[in-house]
Amino acid sequence: SDAEIDRRSAIIGVGAIKFYLLRVRPSQDIHFDPNESISFDGFTGPYCQYVYARIFGILGNVKNEINMKGCDFSTLGNEEELLLIRKLIQFPEKIKIAIDELNTSHIAIHVYDIARAFNQFYSKHKVLHAETQELTNARLVLIKSTAIVLKKGLNLLGIDVLEEM
């Protein structure tokens, strides 16, 4: 509907501006480029919001509940999975650094790094149709965890997320 289009446009547009401004270190000058800020490619809020929505698109195709507790993480181990896991593990540390330095760019940069790591992983590896059911479940837990961290990071920057874009 038109109302839903307006709502989504506002969330994406406001998120684009906030992310663009908050990704800059306090000591840097800001040179705002409206076209760059709304791009769905690169170091932008819409890119990070899109990755979040993309994960929800994948999770929407799951028929059963994802078993977060009974997951066999030993099935994960390729380069892209490990990079994504490392980025997720580093998230609390990046928040602490941002707080200590009063510098939101640490969060923005890390949220973008997580989104980029997810895209690198997803472009090379199947999630829903992995080689085994255990691997499928582990990857589902990994991407659900990624969505949780992306949402928390964007929310810390005052940016809302959409499950569909």
Give, for all 165 residues of the chain, the pLDDT tens digit.
889 899 998 999 889 889 988 888 767 667 767 666 666 777 799 999 999 999 999 999 998 878 778 788 999 999 999 999 999 999 999 999 999 999 999 999 999 999 999 999 999 999 999 999 899 999 999 999 999 999 999 999 999 999 988
**Are the C-beta atoms of residues 120 and 85 closer than 8 Å to each other?**
no
CA-wise closest residue to 64 among 126, 140, 125: 140
Encoding tokens for residue 46? Answer: 């819409």
CA-wise closest residue to 58 among 9, 125, 107, 113: 125
pLDDT value for 63? 80
Output the CA angle 18-43-122, nearest 5 degrees.
120
pLDDT value for 42? 78
For the chain, what is the largest distance between any 2 Cα atoms, rounded to a whole number of angstroms? 50
Query: CA 75, CA 118: separation in Å to the nearest integer?
Result: 17
Query: CA 125, CA 145: separation in Å to the nearest integer?
Result: 17
What is the SS3 assignment for 109-156? HHHHHHHHHHHHHHHHCCCCCCCCHHHHHHHHHHHHHHHHHHHHHHHH
φ, ψ of residue 156 in degrees (nearest 5): -60, -30
Encoding tokens for residue 30? Answer: 């800001």
Query: CA 144, CA 135: separation in Å to the nearest integer?
Result: 14
